[in-house]
Amino acid sequence: MPTIPGVANTPPSSVKLASQEAINAEIALIAGGYERGSQPESHPRLDYLPYRSSAKRCPTNDLYRTDPELIERTAPVFGQQDVGPFDSDLTVQHLGAPIGERIVVTGRVLDTDGRPIAGQLVEVWQANAAGRYIHVRDQHQAPLDPNFTGFGRCLTGADGSYSFTTVKPGPYPWRNHHNAWRPAHIHFSIFGRAFSQRLITQMYFPGDPLFDYDPIFQSVLDRRSRERIVATYDHEVSSHEEHTGYRWDIVVGETPMVNR
């Protein structure tokens, strides 16, 4: 495979990559150590070596606990002027229709108390149905689709709801280890009602056979938290002769109290 210019830490093709078996053993070792602990970890380990790119990029000091100041208890405001009417339909951004399985992904953005995050920005980006990003650094040999960019935006409704129409992204290879494949996913960028609730994550599809082999998915050690990043198929969201439907609710962190 060609090396990718301009990207630090991408192993050159001469570097021997770890085998899938070696990565699986590392994943199992860390997971085993976690199961014996008691405190649930709701987010991925920052220091998670099976994901090789984290080695030189994760902080080694613990995150430093502090009380949020006023600016951190608030969040940027987005409005109708920020988002176009077709931004949430990724299948109508070009002259023709994109290749692939048409889907709708919908759900609500909530805080940990279950309160809806209303009127807030949600951004999504993804590979096309063949597993190729339009990004210049994606060298995967799958085809680009001239009718698909793979980026969308919307504002949540009063009940925290969002909805995107798109095509199901394909899995794609990456160079973390030998024969590494990412499970199909859609990247989500979420704003809460406080700066401290900012979240970027990935939504996966139910039953993906690649989950067990993927260190990014497995970096979330707690099983119940891991289930949170997998959407469910929802036949009520599917539409006659139009698309299949997936439901995925997003829960951002606790809303900070004003006088804590």
CB-CB contact of 194 with 75 (8 Å)? yes
Please name the residues in contact with 102: beta carbons below 8 A apart, sequence gap of 6 or more.
Answer: 91, 165, 166, 167, 242, 243, 244
Q: Does 162 bind other proteins (CB under 8 A)?
A: no
In the numeric block, the tokens 């949020």 are attached to 68
Q: Is the dihedral of CA 221, 222, 223, 225 positive or negative?
A: negative
Do residues 205 and 105 touch, judged by C-beta distance below 8 A? Answer: no
Q: Which of residues 241-260 bind other proteins (CB under 8 A)?
A: 250-254, 256
* Residue 182 annotated to the active site: yes
Q: Taking the complex as a whole, how short is the minimal distance between the CB of residue 154 and other proteins, in angstroms?
A: 12
Our finding on whether 220 is near other proteins (CB under 8 A) is yes
Tell me, yes or no, if 133 is annotated catalytic: yes
Residue 237 in the binding site for other proteins (CB under 8 A): no
Return the range that interacts with other proteins (CB under 8 A); candidates 21-29, 59-67, 97-105, 235-243.
Answer: 59-67
Bridge partners of residue 187, in order along the sequence: 125, 202
Annotation marks residue 233 as catalytic: no
Identify which range of 98-106, 156-164, 219-227, 237-245 contacts other proteins by CB under 8 A: 219-227
| 8 A C-beta contact, residue 24 and residue 178 | no
Is 64 in the active site?
no
Determine if residue 252 is left, alpha or beta; phi over 0 gives left, psi from -120 to 50 gives alpha, anything else beta: beta
Alpha-carbon distance 122 to 145, whole Å? Answer: 24
Binding residue for other proteins, selected from 22, 25, 29, 77, defined by CB under 8 A: 77
Binding residues for other proteins restricted to 86-125, rule: CB under 8 A: 110, 112-114, 121, 123, 125
Site string for other proteins, 123-152 (x = CB under 8 A): x-x-x-----xxxxxx----------xxx-
Q: Which of 73, 108, 132, 182 is catalytic?
A: 182
Annotated active-site residue 140? The verdict is no
**Residue 186 in contact with other proteins, rule: CB under 8 A:** no
Task: Please report, as residue ranges, which positions from 195 to 214 form the binding site for other proteins (by CB under 8 A).
Answer: 195-196, 198-202
- Can you tell me the distance from the alpha carbon of 171 to that of 164, in angstroms, rounded to the nearest whole number? 19
Q: Which residues are catalytic?
A: 133, 172, 182, 185, 187
